[in-house]
Amino acid sequence: MAETFQNLLLGFSVALQPSILVYAFVGCLIGTLVGMMPGLGPLAGISLLLPATFGLNPIIAIVLLAGVYYGAMYGGSTTSILLRIPGEAASVMTCVDGYAMTQRGRAGPALAIAAIGSFVAGTLGVIGLMLLAPTLAEFALRFGPPEYTALLLMGLFILAYMSGGSMLKTLAMAALGLMLGMIGIDVMSGYTRFSLGIVELGDGVGIVPVAVGLFGVSEILLAAGATAALPVQRPKLRELIPSREEFRLSAGPIARGSLLGFMIGIIPGSAHIISSFVSYGIERRLSKHPERFGQGAIEGVAGPESANNAAATGAFVPMMALGIPTSPVTAVMIAAIMVHGILPGPMLIQQQPELFWGFVASMYVGNVVLLILNLPMVGLFVNLLRIPYAYLYPCILCFCILGTYSVSNSLVDVWILLVMGGLGYVLRKLGYDLAPVALGLVLAPMLELSLRQSLAMSAGDYGIFLDRPIATTMLALGVVLFLFALKPLVFKGKDWRDQVGLEKQ
Amino acid sequence: MNETDRGQTRGGLRSDQFSGLMLLALALYVGWENRAYPLGSLQEPGPGYMPLLLVIFLGAMGLLIALWGIKSAPLASMKWTEATRAVVILVACAVATFALERIGYRITMIALLIFFLGALERKRPLPVALVSVGFSFASFYVIGDLLHVPLPRSPWGF
C-alpha cells in the first residue's frame, strides 16, 4: 500500500505539471462538448483528435484522450436530461427519468445528481484502477501465447454474453471485425492478404477509419433528415441544488452504480452502455416504488450516470495491465500510445511508471475539472444545442473526413471511412451492434499471433490450452458463459437482460 | 390490410434471414479468396489458416442467424425513409474524397459544405457562405498550420 501511495505521489508530480493540467482541461472540455453533440460520441471524438496527439509526448497524449473519453460520459447526460437526446449511447437510460424530471421543472437537480454521481463513480473507478491494474499486470507476466489466446477468446465470449442484442449477431460482428483484421501483411509469413491490389492495405485496415465510419458517419446517415432545433432549457446555478430527499434517494444508486460499472467496465464489450442499462434495471428492481421509474425518478439518473462513468474508468484496467482493449475507445487509445513506441501491457507499469501513474493522477484531476465544468457552466454549454442539426452534421462529416485523412495522409483511409459508414448504417438498420467489429479488428493480429505461436509450441496439439491451468480456466469460463448465452436461444426462457428489467426499455 | 400485414402473410424474406444470408455469402466469398494463401500445417499454421477458421465461424453464424431469423420483421416492412438522403450524403462525401488531393482541402470543403447546406438543406446563401468558408479556413488553420498536419493544397497553392 505504501508503495502505491509513493507511486501515486510520483503520478501527481507528473499530472500537476502546468502543461499536463492544461491538456487535461482541454481534453475534458472537448469531451464534454463531444458528448453533448448527437452523432459525435467519445469514440469519434477521440479518433478525430488522434492525429493531433502525434506531436505530443505520450503522457500528454493519453491524458488528453482520456479526458475526452470521460468528459464525453459527463457531457452525454446533459442532452439526455434537457432534450431527451442521448449525446452518446451510454446516456440512453438517463433520457428516461432525466427528461421526465426536466418536464417537471427539476432539470437542475437532475443535472447536478448526474454530475455528482459521475464524479463519485469516476473517483472510485480511479481508485479501483490504481489498486487493480498493477496486481493484474504482475499476474499477467506469467502469460504465454496459450494464455493470451484463451484470454482473447474468453473476452469474445463474454462480449457475446454481455451484448445488449442477439448473441449470434454479436459473434458474427466480432468475426467480421477479426476478418477485417486479417487484411494486410501476415507478420509470420510475409504474405499480403486480401489487399485487393491496394498498396496501402498492406499495412492493414486502421482502427480510426473503421471506428469513425461505423460510429460517426453511420449515426449521421441514420439521422439524415432531422433538421429542427429543439427548445433548450438553461438551468441557473441556484436551480441546480438537489433537495435533501433527492440526495438521500441518490446515494444508494450512486454507490451501486459505481461498483457495478467498474466491474462491467473491466470486461469486454460496450461496457459503459451495458452498465447503464443494467444499473437502471437493478435500481428499478430494488426500488420500493418502481412505478416512479419513467416518471422522473432521481435514482434512474443517479444509477446509470454513475455506472457509465465507472465503466469508462474500469475499461482502462485491462488496457493498461494487459495491453488488451475491451472497447473500441480503448483500442483507439492503445493505437495512440503505440504511435509513440510504447506498448501497453504487463511491462508498462514497471517500465513507464511516470506514464501509468501520471495518467492515474490526471484522472483524479480530470474528475474535479469535469465537476467544475459541468455544474456552474452547464448553462453556457447548452448554447451548443441551439445550433440547428442542419448546420451541425455537415461540419461533423467534414471533421470525420479531415480527422481520418490526417492520421496517415491517405485517401484510402477516407474511402474505408465511407464504406464503413455505409456498412454501419445498413447493419444498424438490421439490428447489429457495431462495437464487436471495431474490437475484433484490433484483437485480430494478437489472436492470430498467439494462436499460431501456441500451436507451434505444442507441435500442433490443441491440448496445450487444456494443459495450462490459467488458459484452461479462462477458456472454461468463456465456454460456460457462451453456453449460458445459448440457453435462451435453445430453451424458451428469460435471459439476464429480462431479469434486470431491460425488456421494457 | 396494411403493407406490414401483407408482408407477414406472404411470408417474404425476413430481415434476419436476409442479413444472415448476406453474411454467409461474404464468408463464402472470403473463403474462395483465401485459396490463394497456404493453410500450412497444425504445427506451422500458414497465412490462410486463421482466415479459414474465421470464414467457417462467420458462415456458421450467418446460417444460424438466417435459421433463427424466421420470427424477425419482414424485410419489406422495414422503413428506409432516410435512405435516399443518406445515399446522397455518402455520394457527396465520395466526390469530395476524389477531389481532396486534386483541388486541395479548402476548396473541397467549401464545395462540400455549400452542397450540404445550400442544395441539401436549402439554407440562405449568406449563412451558407459564412459557414462553409469559415469552417474550411478555420479547420485548415488549426489542423494544418497550428498542429502541422500536412493537408492537401490545390495546384494553385491554395
pLDDT value at residue B2 = 47
Which three cell numbers, joined as nine digits, stand for B17? 434471414
CA angle at A310 for the pair A308 and A311, rounded to the nearest 5°: 60
Q: B-contacting residues of A 354-393, CB under 8 Å?
A: 390-391, 393
What ipTM describes this predicted complex?
Answer: 0.92
**Beta-carbon separation of B23 and A456 below 8 A:** no
The DSSP secondary structure of chain B, one letter per residue, reads: --HHHHHHHHT--BHHHHHHHHHHHHHHHHHHHGGGS--B-SSSB-TTHHHHHHHHHHHHHHHHHHHHGGGSPBGGG---TTHHHHHHHHHHHHHHHHHHHHH-HHHHHHHHHIIIIIIIS---HHHHHHHHHHHHHHHIIIIIIIS-------TT--
**Three-state secondary-structure class, residue A193:** strand
Tell me which of B102, B143, B151 to substitute to probe the interface with A (most A C-beta atoms closer than 10 Å): B143
A440 interaction partners in chain B (CB closer than 8 Å): none
Q: What is the pLDDT of residues B64-80, one digit of tens each?
A: 999 988 888 888 888 88
Name the nearest CA neighbour of B149 among A204, A209, A56, A396: A56
pLDDT value at residue B6 = 47
pLDDT value at residue A504 = 41
Phi-psi region of A17 (alpha: psi -120 to 50; beta: other; left: phi over 0): beta
Tell me which of B43, B54, B107 to substitute to probe the interface with A (most A C-beta atoms closer than 10 Å): B54
Q: Which residues pair with A277 in a beta bridge?
A: none
Chain A closest-CA separation from residue B15 CA (Å): 7
Whole-angstrom CA distances from B91 to A216, A223, A340, A402, B112 are: 16, 16, 36, 17, 11
**Beta-carbon separation of B30 and A432 below 8 A:** no
pLDDT value at residue A498 = 55
Name the nearest CA neighbour of A428 among A226, A219, A163: A219
Residue appearing with cell numbers 441551439: A386
Q: What is the pLDDT of residues B4-63, one digit of tens each?
A: 444 444 568 899 999 999 999 999 999 999 999 999 888 889 999 999 999 999 999 999
The number of domains in chain A is 1
Which three cell numbers, joined as nine digits, stand for A75? 457531457
Q: What number of residues does chain B have?
A: 158
The DSSP secondary structure of A281-308, one letter per residue, reads: HHHHHH-S-GGGTTS--THHHHHHHHHH
Q: Distance from first CA to last CA of chain B, Å, rounded?
A: 60
Q: What is the pLDDT of residues B93-129, one digit of tens each?
A: 999 999 999 999 999 999 999 999 999 989 999 999 9
**Three-state secondary-structure class, residue A422:** helix
Tell me which of A152, A156, A189, A205 to substitute to probe the interface with B (most B C-beta atoms closer than 10 Å): A189
**Beta-carbon separation of B100 and A222 below 8 A:** no
Contact predicate A367/A126, CB 8 Å = yes
A451 interaction partners in chain B (CB closer than 8 Å): 45, 50
Whole-angstrom CA distances from A455 to A179, A187, A459, A472, B57 are: 20, 16, 6, 15, 19
Tell me which of B14, B21, B61 to substitute to probe the interface with A (most A C-beta atoms closer than 10 Å): B61
Which three cell numbers, joined as nine digits, stand for B72? 424477425
Compute the count of residue pairs across chains A and B with CB atoms less than 8 Å apart. 163
Helix ranges restricted to H, A163-269? 167-180, 207-211, 218-222, 244-266
Q: Distance from first CA to last CA of chain A, Å, rounded?
A: 43
**Beta-carbon separation of A178 and B54 below 8 A:** yes
Global confidence as pTM: 0.81
pLDDT value at residue B5 = 47
Domain span at residue A350 reads: 2-229+244-499
**With a cut of 70, which residues of chain A have pLDDT below it?**
1, 38-39, 85-89, 162-165, 225-238, 268-273, 385, 485, 487-505
Phi, psi angle pair for B74, to nearest 5°:
-60, 140
- A221 in contact with chain B, both atoms CB, cutoff 8 A: yes
- A186 in contact with chain B, both atoms CB, cutoff 8 A: yes
Beta strands A192-193 and A184-185: pairing type?
A: antiparallel
When CB atoms are compared, the residue of A189, A402, A429 closest to B46 is A189
Confidence of residue B3 (pLDDT cuts 50, 70, 90): very low
Rounded to 10°, the helix A92-103/A58-83 angle is: 40
Q: A-contacting residues of B 51-80, CB under 8 Å?
A: 51, 54-55, 57-58, 61-62, 64-65, 68, 72, 78, 80
